[in-house]
Amino acid sequence: MKIALAQLNYHIGNFEHNLQKIKEAIAKAKSQQADIVVFAELAISGYPPRDFLEFDDFINQCWKTILEIVPETDNIGVIVGVPTKNSEFEGKDLYNSAVFIADQKIKSVHHKALLPNYDIFDEYRYFEPSGQFLIDEYKGKKIAITICEDLWNLGNHPLYKITPMDELAKQNPDVILNIAASPFHYDQSKERKQILLENVKKYKLPLFYVNHVGAQTELLFDGGSLVINSKGEIVEELDYFEEDFRVYDLAYVESFEDKGKEQNLSKIELIHDGLVMGVRNYFKKLGFFKAILGLSGGIDSAVTAVIAARALGAENVRGILLPSEFSSDHSVIDARELAENLGCPYDIVPIRDSYESIRESLKTQFEGTLFDLTEENIQARIRGVMLMALSNKFGYILLNTSNKSEAAVGYGTLYGDMNGGLSVLGDVYKMEVFELARLINKEEEVIPVNTIVKPPSAELRPEQKDSDSLPDYDILDEILYQYIEKRKGPKDLIEMGFEEMLVKRILKLVNTNEYKRYQTPPVLRVSPKAFGMGRRMPIVARYLS
């Protein structure tokens, strides 16, 4: 049996687009004499469709698309993910399903049993879990069709009371096919390989796994579809962050005895490639082509500009330098040098006159007060107004340049430097931003060295440095990582050796600034715990605040 894996970039609710991709892949599979072609989880609708699933019209269009695939299945089997209606009165109205189509007929429909409801997942909100487990027979092979999480109930901490493959294994299948929508974070590919290898080890069956690729707003899908033989050898891993299509002969897979082709990207390379794909897809799927951002001469805006230029083309990324009276000459020089290195158009728009005008307008109200955070925020908000004005006038999307360290502790100005249509670095800690800069400069100096080595500063008052308000980023980032990603409490952090007063201060800053994060743009998710849909915290709360 020859099995084709179609790793494609779907677009949520764009049925015509998704259908066309699927048809093209079916034709390609036929041309290579494949017996079955396998598509990803909820390929028809795109993943995650969220509350679109509450509309009957949306579900009807999904099924109509399935029916348009049926005529394409002469001499080939097709397995594709789609939401389907639950005909039972009890339970949720929908299933998350895999439809098996062959010989121009719908042969079977398999429903997902394990519905994740943690972190960014919300499947039990919409879907009824399956309680029926049946294999398919096709061209002399017994096939166990599973959907993503159905293979994840192994290990020391199972989340579910049933393991679908235990039930399917009783029917003596020859092969496992798993269709998935596995969102990217920098450790996900390692975790994914481990769990899939555990399945192969347990059931002694070859496994074909197909994942989504592409970005859906803040969620990134890295691809990395896998073929593993029953001996537990990875035969091949498909490309990361790119569409891919491969055909495998099951007999060859089982006889495979060589070192397989795995992708070996470092954590920072994965983050870089994921962010580039995320920006590119966000713009393309929204029908936008040009980005704008403030270029401060600092490392965050520099890295954001490089990622945007690589995603969209340098000519489509406009840098705006917005110097104030507190901006150093070298910051302007560094920003200009970066734009010229990239080949990005740029403008210099000083904000001093606007700043003085606002101060003059508020002179009576501010009388008797000293320069403080208010005046700093006025400058940031003037920059935000100017960037949004250019965005509105010329149809740019404004890229937010704040990093995760700043977002965590509220080191940013609402309606100022926290503006934007998309947050590129909002899930990247400051020390990781430095790593990205070094990766970018690996072959040649793209980001000026001075931008990387100078002390970070918002330059909103004389001689200002980030370290005036925050601990050194290497210490801050480690505390934030342990609290946000690892869910360590204050006691744990103090026992790890962090100073008690610093721990209490940082955790209080994180929790009291939740209101700011509620008002920021979507954040491209690259870590196991990103701000946004995967981290749901109350604003009005007293815990650690």
Q: Is the domain of 246 the same as that of 303? A: no
Strand ordering across the sheet containing 94-102: 105-111, 94-102, 77-85, 36-38, 2-7, 244-249
Is the predicted pLDDT of residue 460 greater than 90, yes or no? no
- Whether residue 253 is found in the same domain as residue 281: no
The verdict on 99 and 197 lying in the same domain is yes
Q: Does 228 share its domain with 275?
A: no
- How high is the mean pLDDT of the chain? 95
Domain-located, residue 170: yes
Q: Report the catalytic residues.
A: 41, 112, 148
Task: State both tokens at 99.
Answer: 């439809």
**Mean pLDDT within 487-508:** 97
CATH number, domain of 50, equals 3.60.110.10
Within a 13 Å sphere around the CA of 232, how many CA atoms are in the beta-carbon half? 10
> For residue 263, is it within any domain?
no
Q: Provide the b/e sequence for 378-387 (b: ≥16 CB within 10 Å).
A: bbbbbbbebb
Q: How far apart are the first and last CA of the chain?
A: 60
Which run of H or E residues covers position 32? none
Closest CA to 187 of 397, 486, 523, 491: 486
- In one-letter notation, the amino acid at residue 64 is K
Pick left, alpha or beta for residue 219 (phi over 0 → left; psi -120 to 50 → alpha; otherwise beta).
beta
| Contact status, residue 459 vs residue 334, Cβ threshold 8 Å | no
Name the pTM for this structure: 0.95
192, 246: one domain: yes
Burial class (CB in 10 A: 0-12, 13-18, 19+), 346: middle
State pLDDT tens for residues 67-121: 999 999 999 999 999 999 999 999 999 999 999 999 999 999 999 999 999 999 9
396 domain residue, yes or no: yes
The verdict on 295 and 381 lying in the same domain is yes
Task: Evaluate whether residue 291 is within a structural domain.
Answer: yes
pLDDT tens readout for residues 397-455: 999 999 999 999 999 999 999 999 999 999 999 999 999 999 999 999 999 999 999 88
Assign residue 406 the CATH number of its domain.
3.40.50.620
472 token code pair: 């050194």
Q: What 3-state DSSP class applies to 423?
A: strand
Q: Report the number of distinct structural domains present in the chain.
A: 2
* 227 in the same domain as 136: yes
Are 327 and 237 members of one domain?
no
Q: What is the pLDDT of residue 458?
A: 66
Give the angle 45-50-54 at the CA atoms, nearest 5°: 85
Looking at the structure, do residues 321 and 243 belong to the same domain, yes or no?
Answer: no
Q: Is residue 526 included in any domain, yes or no?
A: no
Question: Is position 537 within any domain?
Answer: no
CA pseudo-torsion sign 304, 305, 311, 312: positive
pLDDT for 381: 96
Same domain, 208 and 300: no
Q: Please give the residue range of the domain that contains residue 327.
A: 270-517
> Measured between alpha carbons, how far is 525 from 278 in angstroms, rounded to an integer?
9
Lowest-pLDDT range, 29-33, 356-360, 381-385, 458-462?
Answer: 458-462
Residue 504: is its pLDDT beyond 90? yes
Contact predicate 43/11, CB 8 Å: no
CB atoms within 10 A of CB 142: 15
User: Which residue, 345, 335, 334, is CA-closest to 292?
Assistant: 345
The packing angle between helices 299-312 and 430-440, to 10°, is 50
Cβ contacts of residue 15 below 8 Å, gap of 6+?
A: 44, 61, 62, 64, 65
280 in the same domain as 252: no
Q: pLDDT digit string (tens) for 258-278? A: 777 777 899 999 999 999 999
Furthest-apart CA atoms within the chain: distance in Å? 88
Q: Is residue 22 assigned to a domain?
A: yes
Answer yes or no: is 541 within a domain.
Answer: no
Asked whether residue 249 falls in the same domain as residue 275, the answer is: no
